[in-house]
Amino acid sequence: MFIEKAEVLISSPGRNFVTLRITTDDGVTGLGDATLNGRELAVAAYLREHVVPLLIGRDAHRIEDTWQYLYKGAYWRRGPVTMASIAAVDTALWDIKAKAAGLPLYQLLGGRSRDGLLVYGHASGAELPELFDSINEHLEEGYRAIRVQTGIPGLPSVYGVASSANARTGSDAGTDARYDYEPARRNAVPVEESWDTRAYLRHIPGVFEAVRNEFGPELPLLHDGHHRMTPMQAAKLGKSLEPYDLFWLEDVTPAENQEALRLVRQHTTTPLAIGEVFNTIWDYKTLIEEQLIDYVRSPVTHAGGITGLRRIFDYASIYQIKSGAHGPTDVSPVGLSAAIHLGLAIPNFGIQEYMRHAPATHEVFRTTFTFANGMLDAADAPGLGVEYDDEAAAAHPYEAAYLPVNRLLDGSMHDW
């Protein structure tokens, strides 16, 4: 089975996506997600100019060899553009191999280890009443674990809080006011937000106290610090949230400095999750070996595909660290489906983020996975169980969109 064609598909149904479709000489197709939020066209060019020409004529069954060929063969190591490109090739080849075998992908990864994937959804509100409404809506939809993000007094808009202020500009403006928080805005340049860590640290413990009082002790609650704290600020937040028994506290410090987590870890028993911006096992080496985190956050899309992420999960498993794969809207339904198959098979599954895609996204990406009782599950369709509708995609051309940038109140740039 040889690779005959590889197409880079760019579309924007609700938001921008980059998808790789590989076709073999006997007409089997496979899909891979290559979406890198705000830098989409760099991955598309990397694939088109430097990867697709190398794929033509290769044996589609040789997945590991192709992974090593693209990783070692680039000479230049790691990086989100390279690893998203490798991920797309790897995922598409797994899709093809499973379709050729006539099996859902999880069967090729060792078969089912569980009935489905427990997910968490994103509840948010500028103020407590809206937040409580949002949590209730999620519970009614079946969610059994909830991420909680709120506004901070004195800051006009804050990461993770859905509001009409977050409604996208462009062709779908105003369509997602309360749908879900979508951080990328369609605009030629990033919008600017402001930030005050002290105000945040003062406000958040009271929010979790109120949520526990309203919803009781059982509901698993999560929170995302989005890389904004120093180690000591993170330690303080982790300690102050201990009474509210979080499932995890995410991305407390900027992600590059693995050693910083030693300081945080010495001060708090709140479980920690990190890695949504990581792209290789090397980014996790110290975090995993020293058991400085509890959950690994990379998605299939940004960490070298099924092959790359499975290696990270396996390494994490021997240190009692579990999976908690990133599942925002910028991981396409192809990337999400890959996460579902991998999550069904691995021994150390923890939780899956499930932010839900906009209805327009599902018109282009025809999925078969199911969501019921707070769990995602794969269907028995061969492969990943996703088809790409070219006609539907043609109605949604790429529109520049960027994640916001963040400034402290004195105007200095800060981590967003």
Q: Where does this chain bind ligand EZ4 (CB under 6 A)?
A: 37, 183, 224, 226, 276, 326, 328, 330, 403
Query: In the complex, what is the shortest distance from the CB of residue 404 to Co ion, in angstroms, rounded to a whole number?
Result: 14
Query: In the complex, what is the shortest distance from the CB of residue 175 to Co ion, in angstroms, rounded to a whole number?
Result: 23
Q: Does 353 bind Co ion (CB under 5 A)?
A: no
Distances (CA, A) of 273 to 146, 284, 309, 326, 357: 15, 11, 15, 10, 23
Catalytic residues: 159, 226
Among Co ion, ligand EZ4, none, residue 328 binds (CB under 5-8 Å by kind): ligand EZ4
Question: Which residues, 6+ apart, have CB-to-CB distance to 78 below 8 Å?
Answer: 279, 280, 282, 283
Complex with ligand EZ4: residue 95 or 224, whichever CB lies closer: 224
Minimal CA–CA distance to 61: which of 92, 31, 15?
92
C-alpha to C-alpha distance for 87 and 310, rounded to whole angstroms: 12
**How many chain residues interact with Co ion (CB under 5 A)?**
2
Which helix (H) or strand (E) is 4 found in, with range?
A: strand 3-11
C-alpha to C-alpha distance for 23 and 175, rounded to whole angstroms: 35
Please state, as a whole number, how many other Cβ atoms lie within 10 Å of the Cβ of residue 251: 23
Q: Does 172 bind Co ion (CB under 5 A)?
A: no
Token digits for 48? Answer: 């088109």
Complex with Co ion: residue 208 or 248, whichever CB lies closer: 248
Tell me the window of 34-42, 78-86, 272-280, 316-324 that interacts with Co ion (CB under 5 A): 272-280
Please state, as a whole number, how many other Cβ atoms lie within 10 Å of the Cβ of residue 379: 13
C-alpha to C-alpha distance for 397 and 43, rounded to whole angstroms: 17
Question: Which residues, 6+ apart, have CB-to-CB distance to 49 below 8 Å?
Answer: none
Site map (CB under 5 A) of Co ion, residues 274-293, x = contact? --x-----------------
Complex with ligand EZ4: residue 37 or 258, whichever CB lies closer: 37
Token digits for 6? Answer: 């590889």
Q: Does 294 bind Co ion (CB under 5 A)?
A: no
Q: Are 355 and 336 in contact (CB under 8 A)?
A: no
Query: In the complex, what is the shortest distance from the CB of residue 170 to ligand EZ4, in angstroms, rounded to a whole number?
Result: 17
CA angle (313 as vertex; 367, 283 as ends), nearest 5: 110
Site map (CB under 5 A) of Co ion, residues 363-392, x = contact? ------------------------------
CA angle (414 as vertex; 169, 222 as ends), nearest 5: 75
Complex with ligand EZ4: residue 42 or 403, whichever CB lies closer: 403
Complex with Co ion: residue 70 or 325, whichever CB lies closer: 325
Query: In the complex, what is the shortest distance from the CB of residue 176 to ligand EZ4, in angstroms, rounded to a whole number?
Result: 14
Complex with ligand EZ4: residue 130 or 224, whichever CB lies closer: 224
Among ligand EZ4, Co ion, none, residue 116 binds (CB under 5-8 Å by kind): none
Token digits for 374? Answer: 């707070």
Of these, 130, 224, 283, 353, which contacts Co ion (CB under 5 A)?
A: 224
Among Co ion, ligand EZ4, none, residue 37 binds (CB under 5-8 Å by kind): ligand EZ4
Tell me the window of 70-78, 221-229, 342-350, 390-398 that interacts with Co ion (CB under 5 A): 221-229
Which helix (H) or strand (E) is 120 found in, with range?
A: strand 117-125
Among ligand EZ4, Co ion, none, residue 183 binds (CB under 5-8 Å by kind): ligand EZ4
Where do contacts with Co ion occur on this chain (CB under 5 A)?
A: 224, 276
